[in-house]
């Protein structure tokens, strides 16, 4: 829904093919940057889950685990929260990936159409 107005705006704002290409590259770069940012946030959360899992195993294997029940529950809750964050970041990254693919597909289709009209 957003790709067509973006590409239309790029064409309307541009005076020549060089500026169209420049704006298109900027658009693709922005989308890719946001996609990679979401991916890296998901990886950071995954690393934190690994750390929490190790801490949880340590606390659960302790002889005094009956006294640490509240800490164990808190760690499990943190792991659940981080899993939801990872799902959210992965969904965001997938949305940006789909937007990037669709934008490239439309641009390639229009580029092919322009090349066919020249001949």
User: What pLDDT sits at residue 54?
Assistant: 95
| CA-based max dimension of the chain | 81
As a whole number of angstroms, the distance between CA 115 and CA 119 comes to 7
> 2 CB contacts (<8 Å, ≥6 apart)?
99
Task: Read off the pLDDT band of 106 (50, 70, 90).
Answer: confident
How many other C-beta atoms can be found within 10 angstroms of the C-beta atom of residue 34?
16
As a whole number of angstroms, the distance between CA 73 and CA 60 comes to 10
User: What pLDDT sits at residue 45?
Assistant: 96
User: What pLDDT sits at residue 119?
Assistant: 45
How many other C-beta atoms can be found within 10 angstroms of the C-beta atom of residue 25?
10
Task: Read off the pLDDT band of 109 (50, 70, 90).
Answer: confident
Residue 98 has pLDDT above 70, yes or no: yes
Average pLDDT for 97-116: 76
pLDDT tens per residue, range 15-68: 787 887 888 888 899 999 999 999 999 999 999 999 999 999 988 888 777 788
Q: Do residues 79 and 49 lie in contact, with contact meaning Cβ atoms separated by under 8 Å?
A: yes
């Amino acid at each position: 829904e957003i790709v067509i107005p973006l590409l239309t705006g790029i064409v309307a704002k541009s005076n020549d093919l060089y500026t169209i290409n420049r704006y298109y590259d900027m658009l693709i770069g922005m989308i890719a940057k946001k996609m990679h940012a979401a991916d890296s946030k998901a990886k950071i959360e995954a690393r934190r889950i690994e750390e929490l899992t190790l801490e949880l195993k340590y606390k659960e294997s302790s002889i005094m685990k009956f006294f640490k029940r509240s800490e164990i529950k808190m760690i499990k809750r943190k792991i659940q929260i981080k899993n939801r964050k990872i799902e959210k970041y992965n969904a965001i990254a997938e949305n940006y990936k789909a937007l990037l693919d669709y934008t490239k597909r439309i641009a390639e289709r229009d580029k092919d159409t322009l090349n066919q009209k020249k001949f």
